Amino acid sequence: MRLNLPRASIRLLALAMPLFVAACGSGKTRPDAVPAGDIPYSFDVTVEALKDGQFEYNEAPLTSQDLRSALNYRKEIGQPMSTLLLRRSEKQSVKDGHIVAIAGMSVALGFRAWVEERGEINEIRTTTKGE
C-alpha cells in the first residue's frame, strides 16, 4: 500500500521539520557560560570537578587556592597556560562553586576557560566592575 500525499503537504512537512528539530534540541545552558565558537583543538590544562569544591589536577585533589597556586607556578616556569578545560569527574558534576573559582583564576592569571557538561563545551566568560 502506497501513501499518496499531495505535494503541498510534503513541502509543509519539509519546512516544519527543521523548526521541530531546533525546538527539541535547544537545551538549558548555564547563565555564566556561553556557547564557544572558537573551541581549541586541545587545552593546555584539564581539571576535573571533585566534591566539596575541590579539583583534580595531575591526579591530585586540590582546593581552589592550591589549584590557583599550581597554575600560577606553571605560568611562572614558562609552560603553556592560555586555555583550561573544566570537566566533571566520574563521581561529581560541575557545580556553581567550581565555575566561580575557575572564573576568578582566569581573570587573575590571564587565561581562557571552558566547561564541558553533557558533552557540550561552553566558554566561561567574566566581566569586571569596569565593564
pLDDT in tens, 39-80: 888 899 999 999 999 999 999 999 999 999 999 999 999 998
What secondary structure letter does DSSP report for 27?
Answer: -
Q: pLDDT value at position 26? A: 47
* Nearest 10 degrees: Cα torsion 108, 112, 115, 116: -150
Helix (H, G, I), strand (E, B) or coil at 90: coil
CB 67: neighbour CB atoms within 10 A? 22
Mean pLDDT of 1-10: 54
One-letter amino acid for residue 115 of the chain: V
Reported confidence tier of residue 5, pLDDT bands at 50, 70, 90: low
Say whether pLDDT at 24 is over 70.
Answer: no
Q: What is the pLDDT of residue 131?
A: 58
96-109 and 64-76 are packed helices; what angle lies between their axes, rounded to 10 degrees?
30
Residue 108 cell numbers, joined? 587573575
Element (H, E) at 47: strand 45-49
Query: Which is higher by pLDDT, 108 or 20?
Result: 108
